[in-house]
Amino acid sequence: MLQDIQLTIVVENSATLDHNSLWAQHGLSIFLELKFDQKIMMLLWDTGASSEVMLHNAEELDIDLNNLDLICLSHGHYDHTGGLMGVLQHRKDRIVILAHPDIFAPKLKTQPLFKFIGLPVSRSQVEAAGAIMIQARGPVAIAPGFMTTGEVARLESFEKVENFWTVRDGQYCQDNIPDDQALAAVLPGKGLVVITGRAHSGIINTIRHAQKITGVEKLYALIGGFHLMDADDGRVDATVEALKGLDPAIVPTGHCTGHKAICRLQEVLGERCLPLAVGDLIQI
């Protein structure tokens, strides 16, 4: 049975004086230790934007990347996958990478200018560097009470994916980022824990989807990026209102959530909502 989860923020946009040897960079990577009755599982959720920052911070935080059991990727954007090759090349052994098949699709944005924002390496390059790719569209059970969400159902009218582009079947088209997923855990006696990367699917959609696939309604903890930094006031207000109703006990958030949304969440949730920074340790 899953007893508790310890999260260490390895890459994040912000640094504090508490950890002044760590480097901040736009991106996200979280090291998770899942504690079971007899065993601890070590998992890396995303790899930040660059190998240089990923490896520097992991070393400063005494995280031995050779001890990882698994790497999971939230989606294919560079700020969550750019450190992947560094992790693979640093390791002695091959390792399974769990992700959606679309992580290698071309990923583009056009605001303010056309820019490639996808995974900077190909599938054959990551496999040559030691990755064993497991690509699934739906949820994957990783351990008792712990899974990836797979593709997130888009149900909330205020959570739209905009301004991302791709090429599908030779056609340049809007990218609704089907590869976006989260981690969902069920902690006995506490409830549902949702750990996001960027939550391009919408943070409320992601929670509703995690509730559905786990069968657990009570949201206990919500951690990661909520993709609200460019959201209009209407979307921020609707998100804050929905989260108030869900009444989570722990909401550490950062990366793409944005100062405005974090302040609004703090007005409603008080100290249950905390801004993330590199080196933060969260015990759940």
Among 124, 14, 138, 120, which Cα is nearest to 77's? 120
Reduced to 3 states (helix: H, G, I; strand: E, B; else coil), residue 253 is strand
> Residue 77, interface with Fe ion (CB under 5 A)?
yes
Q: What is the largest CA-CA distance in the chain?
A: 51
Cβ 200 to Fe ion shortest distance, Å: 6
Decide: is 107 part of the binding site for Fe ion (CB under 5 A).
no
Stretch 141-180: interaction string toward Fe ion, x if CB under 5 A? ----------------------------------------
Scanning 15-23, 94-102, 122-130, 253-261 for contacts with Fe ion by CB under 5 A, the matching segment is 253-261
Closer of 19 and 255 to Fe ion (Cβ): 255
Token pair in block for residue 90: 């640093």
End-to-end alpha carbon distance in the chain = 14
Question: Please, what is the minimum distance in Å from the beta carbon of residue 164 to Fe ion?
Answer: 8
Q: How far is the CB of 3 from Fe ion (least distance, A)?
A: 30
Residue whose pair of structure tokens reads 């769990």 in the numeric block: 98
In the three-class reduction of DSSP (H, G, I as helix; E, B as strand; rest coil), residue 129 is classed as coil
Site for Fe ion in 203-242 (CB under 5 A): none
Across-strand partners of 273? 251
Which of 100, 198, 209, 264 touches Fe ion (CB under 5 A)? Answer: 198
From the CB of 255, what's the least distance to Fe ion, in Å?
6
75-83, 91-99, 102-110, 268-276 -> range binding Fe ion (CB under 5 A): 75-83
Strands 95-99 and 70-72: parallel
- Is residue 79 close enough to count as binding Fe ion by CB under 5 A? yes
Candidates 61-69, 151-159, 185-193, 248-256 — which segment interacts with Fe ion by CB under 5 A? 248-256
Contact between 56 and Fe ion by CB under 5 A: the answer reads no
CB of 64 to Fe ion, least distance (A): 26
Q: How far is the CB of 110 from Fe ion (least distance, A)?
A: 15
- Binding residues vs Fe ion (CB under 5 A): 77, 79, 198, 256
